Amino acid sequence: MKILKRSKQVVNFLKENLKNKKALVVMHDNPDPDCIACGICLQKIFEGIYATPTTLTYGGVIGRSENKKMVTECDVILKRIDTLKLDDYTFIVSVDSQPGSGNTSLKLGHKIDMVLDHHPRKTTTRNIPWVDIRTNYGATATIAYEYCMAHNLEFNKLEATAILYALKTETKDLGVEAGPADKRAYLSLLPKSDFEILFNIVHAEVSKDYFLVLAKAMENARIYNDVMVTSTGEIKTPEYVAEVADMLLRLKGVDWTFVSGQCKSSLYMSIRTSNREANSGEIMQQVVNGFGTGGGHDSMAGGKIEKIPENTTFEEIEEELAQRTLRALKKRSHGEELLEEKKEPPEKNKIK
Q: What is the pLDDT of residue 332?
A: 81
* 302 DSSP β-pair partners: 270, 295
Mean pLDDT by 10-residue block, N- to C-terminus, for the chain (352 residues)? 86 95 96 97 98 96 94 97 95 94 84 94 93 96 97 97 97 92 97 98 95 96 96 94 95 96 94 90 92 88 89 92 94 87 60 49
Q: For the chain, which residues make up each domain, given as ranges?
A: 5-202, 209-337
Go through 276-288 and write b for each residue having 16 or more CB atoms within 10 A of its CB, e for each that does not.
Answer: eebbbbbbbbebb
Q: What is the pLDDT of residue 112?
A: 96
Do 228 and 51 form a contact (C-beta atoms < 8 A)? no
Q: What is the pLDDT of residue 348?
A: 58
| Cα 113 from Cα 22, distance rounded (Å) | 12
Q: What is this structure's pTM?
A: 0.89
Domain 209-337 CATH (choose: 1.20.1250.20, 1.10.10.10, 3.10.310.40, 3.30.70.980): 3.10.310.40
Same fold, 5-202 and 209-337: no
Nearest Cα to 269, choosing from 250, 247, 293?
293
Q: What is the pLDDT of residue 352?
A: 47
Beta strands in 61-129 (DSSP E): 79-80, 91-95, 114-117
Burial classification of residue 125, based on how many CB atoms lie within 10 Å of its CB (0-12 exposed, 13-18 middle, 19 or more buried): middle
Beta strands in 81-202 (DSSP E): 91-95, 114-117, 130-133
Do 10 and 132 form a contact (C-beta atoms < 8 A)? yes
The angle that helices 208-220 and 239-248 make with each other, rounded to 10 degrees, is 60
DSSP 3-state assignment of 303?
strand
Other beta carbons within 10 Å of 310 = 5
* 222 DSSP β-pair partners: 229, 337
Other beta carbons within 10 Å of 69 = 18
Do 129 and 123 form a contact (C-beta atoms < 8 A)? no
Residue 160, CB-side half-sphere exposure with 13 Å CA sphere? 18
Beta strands in 29-99 (DSSP E): 54-58, 79-80, 91-95
Do 54 and 230 form a contact (C-beta atoms < 8 A)? no
- CA 149, 153, 159: angle at the middle one, nearest 5? 100
Enter the CATH code of domain 5-202: 3.90.1640.10
Beta strands in the chain (DSSP E): 23-27, 54-58, 79-80, 91-95, 114-117, 130-133, 222-224, 227-234, 256-263, 266-273, 293-296, 300-305, 336-337
Do 167 and 186 form a contact (C-beta atoms < 8 A)? yes
Beta strands in 147-292 (DSSP E): 222-224, 227-234, 256-263, 266-273
| Cα 134 from Cα 63, distance rounded (Å) | 27
DSSP 3-state assignment of 309?
coil
